[in-house]
Amino acid sequence: MRKAFATADEVFSWIGEFLNQEKGQDVRSFRLDRIELLASMFGNPQLSYRTIHVAGSKGKGSTSAMMASILDAAGFRTGLYTSPHLLSYKERITIAGREIPDEAFASAGDRLREKVERIDPAAFPGGCPPTFFELLTLLGFLMFRDLGCEWVVLEVGMGGRLDATNICLPEASVLTRIELEHVEYLGDTIAKIAGEKAGIVKRGRPVLCGRQPEEALAVFREKARAAESPFSYLPDLCTIDSAVVDRTGTRIGFTLTDRAASERFSATLRLFGRIQAENAGLAALAIRQAAPEVSSDTIVRGLEAAWLPARSEVVPGEPPVMFDGAHTPASVAFALETFSALFPGPATLIFGCALGKDVGAMARELSPRFDEVIVTTPGSFKKSDSGETLAAFTAAGKTARFFPDPEAALADAESAGRPVLVTGSFYLAAEIMRRLKCGTS
């Protein structure tokens, strides 16, 4: 008999033995019947609370955090499931962003392991054992039930249609902005990717949609029509009146219009970036639809309390360092806009991204802004190609220097005394943030 788990890290170590999907598992093995089988063995915990399900390419983490924070401010015990994490897997399963004690992870982990290890791996649907993400998702489902959650905000891991979170039955489905991403899994056009994201739409359940490219919007409208799901498009119902970024946060104002009535909201967000105004508008619109009993004042309090790491997060110091996990051209542009608003003078860039990203477009976006560019490896979790990255910056007119060790890259950047932007990958942000915080603790 195996020893019971004592800590969350022990649970994650066991789940880590199943780390295959994120290491390049064949797309044909993505399926829902494995997670459906596992959840049924525990009485389908994902159906024991009300859920908001969130998919998209850009802004889904921030929008999820905002919605969970609003529900929390309304007095509901609210679970929040997000990815990726920065410093600990515990960041992915929280109570509205607040850390859950190790005992809850250990208890749910013991029950999960006991049932999973009873089953011959070949007996699972597809003839292979559960994936890392499937087990992590089920762990979250179990813990949220154990902890008595009334609401849970679930962020999709990748795609939507075949994502392990997609066995929930949400009060509302939320679709944030679509970009080209994970093309090897989701398709090589905006329309194909939107089709995968639209897989979270459930029959008759409301769909709240953020601003989209026309190709994505057409797919989402058609999916909602076919599912007989009420469809709300943010630009039709929300006007952003203001969005100002400074060192205190992001001061926003937006107006929601519903039929003949209009209501204006003003808030100062802890999350930096003008794009957060649209995320806030989408979060407020979704809560209005899913939980209409929540008051306007509560929506504002929730928006102002919301937080998620490495979304234009600034670690103060000399020099200050801003972290953003942006890894697509559009998200890098938003990160750059925020950084320039906070630090308009000379600056240094530390950049690293995983293979398969549009590094050329990101290099062209970033190069003109920085006095110095330092390329490094974004950790070892995903493969990267430093040669390709260096060549991309050279082609963009900027000679970059390379440090294979992120800590050395940070030390070199700090020696120049200029504000630093770290971007290109959540894994890179995690590597450098961990070392910076360890060094300053």
| Tens-digit pLDDT profile for residues 181-219 | 766 667 779 999 999 999 999 999 999 999 999 999 999
Neighbours of 81 (CB within 10 A): 27
Q: Does residue 345 register a pLDDT over 80?
A: yes
Question: At residue 237, what is the residue type?
Answer: L
Q: How many angstroms separate the CA atoms of 27 and 271, rounded?
A: 34
Q: How many angstroms separate the CA atoms of 144 and 111, rounded?
A: 14
The sheet with strand 238-246 has its strands ordered as 238-246, 249-258, 261-269
Q: Does residue 330 register a pLDDT over 50?
A: yes
DSSP readout, 178-194?
--S--HHHH-SSHHHHH
> CA-CA distances (angstroms) from residue 390 to 50, 78, 112, 355, 372?
47, 44, 44, 13, 13
Residues 162, 199 contacting (CB under 8 angstroms)? yes
Residues 182, 57 contacting (CB under 8 angstroms)? no
Please state the rounded mean pLDDT for residues 372-378: 95
Task: Extract the tokens encoding 140.
Answer: 């979250």
DSSP readout, 50-67?
EEEEEE-SBSHHHHHHHH
Task: Extract the tokens encoding 296.
Answer: 């306007």
Confidence of residue 437 (pLDDT cuts 50, 70, 90): low
Same fold flag, 8-305 and 313-440: no
| Tens-digit pLDDT profile for residues 7-38 | 999 999 999 999 854 444 555 467 899 999 99
Residue found under tokens 């089709």: 195
Question: At residue 426, what is the residue type?
Answer: F
Q: How many angstroms separate the CA atoms of 230 and 45, rounded?
A: 26
DSSP readout, 113-171?
HHHHTTS-GGGSGGGSPPPHHHHHHHHHHHHHHHTT-SEEEEE-SSSSTT-GGGG---S
Tell me what percent of the residues of the chain surpass a pLDDT of 90: 83
Confidence of residue 441 (pLDDT cuts 50, 70, 90): very low
DSSP readout, 67-80?
HHHHHHHTT--EEE
What are the beta bridge partners of residue 94? 80
| Tens-digit pLDDT profile for residues 350-366 | 999 988 889 999 999 99
Domain ranges of the chain: 8-305, 313-440
| Domain covering 313-440 assigned CATH 3.90.190.20 in the classification | yes
Task: Extract the tokens encoding 280.
Answer: 């806030």
Q: How many angstroms separate the CA atoms of 91 and 182, rounded?
A: 23
What are the beta bridge partners of residue 126? none
| Tens-digit pLDDT profile for residues 32-87 | 999 999 999 999 999 999 999 999 999 999 999 999 999 999 999 999 999 989 88
Confidence of residue 110 (pLDDT cuts 50, 70, 90): very high
pTM of the model as a whole: 0.93
Looking at CATH, the fold of the domain delimited by 8-305 is given as: UDP-N-acetylmuramoyl-L-alanine:D-glutamate ligase (3.40.1190)
Residue partners of 321: CB distance under 8 A and separation at least 6: 314, 315, 410, 414, 419, 420, 421, 422, 432, 436
